[in-house]
């Protein structure tokens, strides 16, 4: 018997930003965070630059369900944040999908 997954989606991990792009990523991070936190279904959104490794930003996100997570991903792809981070390395684990 198949059941539809409707539970919380959690993304955790980090991004590695090229040193030459750290300033532009930081310049866009506040707006990106604010927009994400206003999204319907966003429960938690945190992106924090590591003190000891400035090129690495830890990421933790929670969305109420798969639809909210998918909507977030779509918005990011079309955003300024998506543009300035298109060449960063992403190392994420997503649970709940």
Q: Are 69 and 9 in contact (CB under 8 A)?
A: yes
Domain count, the chain: 1
Q: Are 96 and 9 in contact (CB under 8 A)?
A: yes
The residue range of the domain holding 32 is: 9-95
- Residues near 28 by Cβ (< 8 Å), separated by ≥ 6? 80, 81, 84, 85
> Residue 88: helix, strand or coil by DSSP?
coil
Say what the pLDDT of residue 76 is: 94
List pLDDT tens digits, range 26-80.
Answer: 999 999 999 999 999 999 999 999 999 999 999 999 999 999 999 999 999 999 9
Report yes or no on 50 lying in a domain. yes
Q: What is the pTM of this model?
A: 0.89
Reported residue count of the chain is: 97
Residue predicted with more confidence, 3 or 53: 53
Q: For residue 72, what is the domain's CATH number?
A: 3.30.70.100
Top pLDDT among 86 and 5 is at: 86
Say if 3 falls within a structural domain. Answer: no
Q: Is residue 68 part of a domain?
A: yes
């Amino acid at each position: 018997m198949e059941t539809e997954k409707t539970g919380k989606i959690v993304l955790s991990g980090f991004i590695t930003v090229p040193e030459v792009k750290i300033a532009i990523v930081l310049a866009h991070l506040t707006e990106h965070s604010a927009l994400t936190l206003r999204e319907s279904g966003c429960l938690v959104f945190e992106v924090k630059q590591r003190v000891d490794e400035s090129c690495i930003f830890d990421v933790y996100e929670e969305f109420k369900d798969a639809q909210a997570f998918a909507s977030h991903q779509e918005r990011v792809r079309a955003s300024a944040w998506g543009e300035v981070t298109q060449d960063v390395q992403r190392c994420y684990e997503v649970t709940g999908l």
